[in-house]
A and B are shown apart, each in its own frame.
Chain A
Amino acid sequence: MHELGLTQSILEIALDNAAKNEAGRVLKVKVVAGDLTGVIDESLRFYFDYLARGTAVEGAELTIDHPPAIVKCASCGVESRVAAGQVFACPRCDALTVELLSGREFYVDSIEIE
């Protein structure tokens, strides 16, 4: 997967915000990555620590939240949770016409600076 590039983007967002707020250091970065993004935490953490060296983000704590994948069925209207890797269909009636309500979001939710 492409965690290196993604981690670079996360770091840029954190550094950008730190600079805008004239912060000396970033203490915490909170990332939200839906279950279906396929993001691998270990590799995100590995690159994060590696790329942060020598920057204002060095030593910051990285938290990664994984909101579940929720689909809404277009035929029966029921909202249900589907696991990553599971067939993308309504678990109740098997319809494939489902709307994805969450699970693909991927953003930096907040950062803590000092």
Chain B
Amino acid sequence: MQDVLAANENMAEENAKLFGDKRVLVVNLMASPGAGKTSFILRSIAALRDDYSIAVIEGDLASKVDAEKIKAHGIPSIQINTGGGCHLEASMIRQAAGHLDLDEVDFLIIENVGNLVCPADFTLGESVRVLILSVPEGDDKPLKYPFIFKGSDVLIVNKVDMLELTDFNMERLEDVVLSLNPDVKIVPLSCRTGDGFDEWISWIKERLEVIVRRS
């Protein structure tokens, strides 16, 4: 009896060891298309770049639009095109990491392919799994895609500036998510206005401090 996903699991473990040795905190950022992954990365960079050195791996079906956006801010950024593939795999991260000087990186953010199904099955060797749900997508998503909500450490609820335009119910969302995953940290925020962003930044800073100060 041999697990079909074992090859990915093994590679993810090797990645985790490499990132651990190099003292890099790695975020696997997952969401639907357009939920605000790239906006979230850009705002995080702006808030953290003075204190930590940051790099980004961008996964996309095609094009390098997102990687170019990151590079325009002077942050090293590697684009992986999955060529139609619906998720990133650990081996792709291994390859991309080879193009980064990990000795010089404290914080690596990986933008996964926009998809709430497949990335749930493929770990990459990350330290933290962050899921973004945006308000226009609706508060029923955890019921439709339970596994990605179960497997996340942080849930960012983005685009709260649009709450009034929708029937999105934050309380209902929190109830459902916490019953699926009692340990998840939920942070409502807006990448547009910056509301709520501080809470995410102080949460991730705590983790970054542990990694950077450890020697």
Contact = CB atoms under 8 A, between A and B. Distances in A.
Interface of A: 1-2, 5-6, 9-10, 12-13, 17, 31, 36, 38, 87-89, 95-97, 104, 106-110
Contact of A2 (B87, B143, B176): B87
Contacts of B118: 1-2
29 contacts: A1-B117, A2-B86, A2-B87, A5-B85, A5-B89, A6-B4, A9-B4, A9-B5, A9-B6, A9-B7, A12-B7, A13-B4, A17-B2, A36-B147, A88-B146, A88-B180, A89-B143, A95-B179, A96-B179, A104-B147, A106-B4, A106-B5, A107-B1, A107-B2, A107-B3, A108-B1, A108-B2, A108-B4, A110-B1
Given A6-B4, A10-B4, A88-B180, 12 more contacts: A2-B87, A9-B7, A12-B7, A38-B117, A87-B143, A88-B143, A96-B176, A107-B2, A107-B3, A108-B1, A108-B2, A109-B1
Interface in B168-208: 176, 179-180
Interface in B138-180: 143, 146-147, 176, 179-180
Nearest to B89: A5
A13 B2 contact: yes
Nearest to A37: B121
Nearest to B145: A88
A106 to B, nearest CB: 5
A101 B176 CA distance: 20
A5 B87 CA distance: 11
A59 to B, nearest CB: 21
The 8 tightest CB contacts between A and B, nearest first, are A96-B179, A88-B146, A13-B2, A107-B3, A108-B2, A106-B4, A97-B179, A9-B4
Contacts of A109: 1
A97 B150 CA distance: 11
Contacts of A2: 85-87, 118
Nearest to A108: B2
Contacts of A110: 1
Interface string B86-99: 11010000000000
